Homo-oligomer: A and B are copies of this chain.
């Protein structure tokens, strides 16, 4: 269920390196001189960051220069404002002149070069300036001079900030991969409509403000969750797989120039404020990691877990990085393998022990979570890998058996996993109990498996996760009201990217599965008037257009039945070869494609009575992929109106920081 890991599994296959290649020398550097942070970077006043400059000399390829010898005598200066001198960078930043670093790397210029195995070799000379900040709002110009007269210029802007706090607390929900199309589909299955009028609405439909945000990366128009979460939480664009760093070209994943996150800034500037991280993913996954970790490689899961606990400086003593998450007050999610000694944990350590030594109450079950003392710093790890899906926990609980995924590593099943709602509500209580009076708290709560289930084309489970998120937001608002914090809390809900999912009709699954050929099965799809009414909100056996309002076993805002005869016919825009029957996969999350002969092809065991759908992706893709679409953002509470309009994902960081009054 982890896209990048499934990828990795197949790296030895025939067609596997296409998606792993940039076909760019370095994304943010179209010329041979590179400045990170690159041109067009914005900062919050005083926000910490590193600066790296690189000079490239390709030995071969279309940009071969200097016989592959990079200019080591480059100069780098920074100018404040429009007038005045460009001052030597070390002096400007007030740091020692950094040592020169040198390395080389290779890349393929395009698919033809890759097929011919003709990489381009690039030699690099570089310097890095650590732990910098710019306090004064305004424009800055950084200039790198190299190869005689060549020049690379980066314009930076320190935005002005608000010191006036409008929100004591911020609760930031991420529906990973959640698009408006998915919200529309979730509304259709979770809410009853009579003659085109919904009888109830999603909580998302009823927030104070809504906007639209653009999700693309710094150097590719399709993003992954690492760099889009980085954008949300640092106000900086970055590259696929990068967590709170600008990707440099060096081989070390941890030496890339870093940027301070909203969590780190909150810890520095709101003394006594409490910090919480909740996710239904493994807790070292990209989105939760984006609050505290700094690495070029999101797969460094062990380091991510280590970095919640320790400063990044502890990973490499040669770095200066004078800010960190200072041990979040509550961390809840999956991913026990990164805590268990001798698995993927940092340096093979028992990280449960390391967390206990720092004062964490370590929990493994929903029952323990419920009973936990909210005054304790709390780590709740409820399974290995990602947490169970809402549909499996609530509709087919037998699927939690035979998983050998106990968070204790004892090989038993993690059958008592809390849901996003239970985790979020308990986390609020912990944050409330642990925050100093009036200091407030910041929490990120992620519905991670909307994305994970869309990747495997399992729309039933993806929409289940989305409805759980919506129910969680609603329950959270009720809870905040009860404890008197609703008016103090800014709630923001958004996604980090989309998937090209949309519903285009209904499918008569009874008819579909009884037909003998692909083209006859496809007849089961009803479009336009034949899409009819949603059968998810009628009692089993009732007509789809039955106007009676029924409440299902999971309560209102969830389907009355999950797998009616007439299902939604949906497409994914991009997919591997697979088979479609539109029925709920009752054995657990779908596996649409499997590796065979060096490529991914239709899983012969999936939807055996469905029709064949040919893939639109390279044979190295086992799953669906992320898409370009803007995503919706919703906000309620103090400062919500700032989230109206259409803007870039990086702007969200500044809006949140301003709401919390983090301007020094």
Contacts and interface: CB of A to CB of B under 8 A. Distances in A.
Interface stretch (A72-80, A265-273, A381-389, A611-619): A611-619
A201 B212 CA distance: 13
Interface in A217-258: 217-224, 231, 237, 239-241
A60 interface: no
Contact of A646 (B111, B210, B543, B547): B210
A599 B519 contact: yes
A543 B23 CA distance: 11
A207 to B, nearest CB: 8
What is the copy number of this chain in the assembly?
A: 2
Contacts of A38: 195
A456 interface: no
A511 interface: yes
Given A221-B533, A502-B500, A196 B184 contact: no
B528 A222 contact: yes
A353 interface: no
Interface stretch (A93-101, A280-288, A338-346, A568-576): A568-576
B503 A221 contact: yes
Interface in A191-229: 193-198, 201, 204-206, 209-212, 214, 216-224
A522 interface: yes
A585 B23 CA distance: 27
Given A503-B221, A628-B184, A532 B571 contact: no
B524 A214 contact: no
A194 B532 contact: no
A103 interface: no
Nearest to A237: B196
Interface in A1-56: 15, 18-24, 27-28, 30, 38-41
B523 A214 contact: no
Contact of A526 (B23, B180, B645): B23
A110 interface: yes
A531 B571 contact: no
Given A526-B18, A527-B19, A500 B181 contact: yes
Interface in A599-634: 599, 612-619, 621, 625-630, 632
Given A30-B543, A504-B500, A625 B527 contact: yes
A410 interface: no
Contacts of A528: 19, 220, 222-224, 240, 625-626
A27 B529 contact: yes
A399 to B, nearest CB: 27
A241 B527 CA distance: 13
A534 interface: yes
Interface of A: 15, 18-24, 27-28, 30, 38-41, 110-112, 179-181, 183-185, 187-188, 193-198, 201, 204-206, 209-212, 214, 216-224, 231, 237, 239-241, 498-506, 508, 511, 518-519, 522-534, 543, 545-547, 568-575, 580, 599, 612-619, 621, 625-630, 632, 644-646, 648, 650
7 interchain residue pairs of minimum CB distance: A500-B502, A571-B573, A196-B237, A504-B574, A503-B628, A240-B529, A181-B629
26 contacts: A19-B528, A22-B529, A22-B532, A111-B524, A112-B511, A179-B181, A180-B630, A181-B181, A181-B628, A184-B630, A193-B221, A196-B218, A197-B237, A210-B211, A221-B534, A222-B505, A500-B501, A500-B573, A502-B573, A502-B628, A504-B573, A504-B616, A504-B626, A519-B619, A523-B618, A527-B574
